Every structure is written in C-alpha cells, then in structure tokens.
Amino acid sequence: MRTTSILLTLALALPLVACNGVEADPLQAAEAALQDGDSAKAVALLQLHVAGLDRTSPESREATILLCSALAEKQPMESRDALLKLAEAQPEGVTSKDFKDVQSYLQTHGHFLEAIDVMDAGLKRWPGDATMSKVKDVLIAAVQSAGDEEATAKLKGLGYL
C-alpha cells in the first residue's frame, strides 16, 4: 500500500516538472487545469502544493483559495471547510473577496447549501461589507430562481428570507 501511495504522489508531482528540470508554477498549472474544465487535475496539483506550505504564508492563502475553487465542483463540503479553516488560520489574510470567489464557484456548480454556509460566515465576519451584501443578494436570487426548497428553507432559517 505504501508503494502505491509513493507512486501516486510521484505521478501527481511529475507534471510539475518542466522540460529543463525546473519546477513549473503549480498555481499556474492548476489555474490552467481549471480553465480547461479539469477540476480533478487542479485539485491534485494544489493538494500536493498546499501540503508543503506553511499554513500562515501568503502563498498558502492563495493556493488554498484556488484549491477551494477547484474542490467546489465535485467536493463542495471540502471546499467550504478548507475556506473556513484557512480563515481561522489566517484571520488577517483572508478577505471578503476570497469568500465571494469560493461562494461563487459553489453557487455556479449548484451547491447552494455550502454556498449559503460560506455567505453566512462571510456576513458574520464582515457585517456591513458591500462585497458580502452583494454575495447575499446574488445567492438569494439564484436559490429562488432554481426553486431549491432545501436551500430556501436554510436561508429562511438563518433569517435571510
């Protein structure tokens, strides 16, 4: 099992190495994968990269936000949880824009419940923030437009409707 794990790690790391043996920028590679619609590749690249970073570094913040965006498509709970953990680890570094970006990815992929969690945490963290206020308005409209009863009930329960 350990051999399989090592081989998998090496297989994931190989795309990070460029032709001249110089390590490619994993953030750029992950962004390119996301733009190509390959969230699984982006997640693999970013998880490997984030694992080697100091959780309090600015690079960790940037990589984790991108990881949250990549996770949003198929692993919405992990996306939400990673953002909230990052906000706890870097209370001064994470911004309302970061919350907006992750919430937007969750919403785009139809994961309204997790998007509501991100919105709610952002509104509590930055009460009166214009970015979070807009996030709330856009998300409420999207939930109502989709007719998602569970998400509508959650919004009502939190006092947003």
What is the C-alpha to C-alpha distance for residues 123 and 130, in angstroms, rounded to an integer?
10
Number of neighbours of residue 37 by Cβ within 10 angstroms: 10
pLDDT of 138 reads 97
According to DSSP, residue 91 is labeled T
What would the pLDDT profile of 100-153 be if each residue is shown by its tens digit? 999 999 999 999 999 999 999 999 999 999 999 999 999 999 999 999 999 999
Half-sphere exposure of 67 (CA within 13 A, CB side): 25
Return the SS3 of 103. Answer: helix
Q: What is the mean pLDDT of residues 71-87?
A: 96
Rounded to two decimals, the pTM is 0.81
pLDDT of 28 reads 92
- Asked whether residue 16 carries a pLDDT value surpassing 50, the answer given is no
May I ask the CATH class of domain 2-157?
Answer: mainly alpha
Q: Where are the domains of the chain?
A: 2-157
Report phi then psi at 92, rounded to 5.
-90, -20
